[in-house]
């Protein structure tokens, strides 16, 4: 897809849909503001509600999960939640990858994905929206982490680069995203580790260094904390035939 930086015509959702971003970046404008959509984010579509999109960086790939009204209420909790956007943690990303890869879509894997999405959505969608200034700061912090900017290596240098106090950044980030900044940063690294393991990565020590972990043991602890499994076990799971 070519770049289209201007906003599209409004698109009205025809059902209850959970959208998970797989690749690419784009912008979505809805009733609760503008989402800088990228891998690690998701959003909710509610019947009859319009959204506009812009693609300044080209194309994207997303997974859309259509839910019946009863299942929607059990997952989201409200017909029209306060927020439509949410952060996708490493556990949801792993379940998402397994569904896309053609796992047990009808039962176990899909059920796990819906359950995990429900837990993530429940943490944030009905919280009050923060002020516009805090949302801009959080968006900039997320972008710095995702782009591996040097200042994203720590809370203090990241806050300094954004012109806010570490306390304000930490508080605003947790309120907006639903998890602390440190856990978000680690989750991004875990997600990248999962992507490489799915591709058959065998050099775990080298991967740990590439992704910014202190060493392989640090990576193993972090991956287990987020996903409940070691990198070696995940590689077997993700590369298993069928």
Domain boundaries, the chain: 11-124, 132-177, 182-239
CA angle 190, 195, 197 (to 5 degrees): 90
- Ordered alpha helix ranges (H), 125-165: 132-146, 155-162
Q: Give the separation between CA 37 and CA 54, rounded to whole angstroms.
A: 10
% the chain with pLDDT above 90: 36
Q: Which two tokens stand for residue 131?
A: 């002020």
- Flag whether pLDDT at 105 surpasses 60: no
Res. 242 pLDDT band, cuts 50 70 90: very low
Q: Which two tokens stand for residue 50?
A: 């319009």
Handedness of CA 160, 161, 164, 169 (dihedral sign): negative
24-48 pLDDT per residue, tens:
889 999 988 888 888 888 899 989 9
Res. 241 pLDDT band, cuts 50 70 90: low
- Name residue, tokens 């019947």: 47
CA proximity to 195, closest of 184, 207, 185, 186 = 207
Q: Give the separation between CA 183 and CA 117, rounded to whole angstroms.
A: 17
Give the pLDDT mean for 119-144. Answer: 79
CA angle 8, 12, 13 (to 5 degrees): 125
Looking at domain 11-124, which CATH architecture does it have?
Answer: Sandwich (2.60)
Q: Is the fold of 11-124 the same as that of 182-239?
A: no
Res. 110 pLDDT band, cuts 50 70 90: low
CATH number (1.10.10.60, 2.60.40.770, 1.10.8.420, 3.60.10.10) of 182-239 reads: 1.10.10.60
Radius of gyration of the chain (CA): 18
């Amino acid at each position: 897809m070519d770049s289209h930086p201007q906003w599209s015509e409004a698109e009205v959702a025809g059902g209850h849909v959970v959208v998970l971003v797989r690749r690419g970046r784009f912008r979505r404008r809805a009733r609760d503001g503008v989402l800088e959509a990228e891998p690690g984010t998701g959003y909710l579509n509610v019947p009859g509600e319009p959204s506009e999109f812009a693609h300044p960086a080209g194309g994207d790939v997303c997974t859309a999960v259509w839910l019946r009204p009863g299942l929607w209420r059990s997952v989201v909790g409200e017909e029209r939640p306060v927020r439509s956007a949410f952060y996708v943690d490493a556990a949801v990303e792993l379940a998402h990858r397994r569904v896309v890869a053609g796992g047990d879509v009808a039962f176990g894997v899909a059920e796990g994905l819906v359950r995990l999405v429900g837990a993530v959505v429940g943490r944030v969608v009905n919280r009050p929206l923060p002020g516009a200034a805090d949302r801009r700061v959080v968006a900039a912090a997320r972008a710095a982490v995702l782009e591996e900017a040097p200042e994203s290596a720590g809370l203090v240098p990241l806050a300094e680069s954004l012109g806010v106090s570490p306390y304000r950044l930490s508080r605003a980030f947790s309120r907006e995203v639903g998890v602390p900044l440190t856990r978000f940063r680690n989750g991004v690294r875990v997600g990248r580790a999962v992507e490489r393991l799915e591709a058959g990565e065998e050099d775990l020590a080298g991967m740990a260094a590439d992704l910014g972990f202190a060493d392989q043991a640090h990576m193993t602890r972090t991956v287990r904390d987020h996903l409940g499994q070691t990198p070696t076990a995940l590689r077997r799971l993700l590369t298993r035939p069928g």
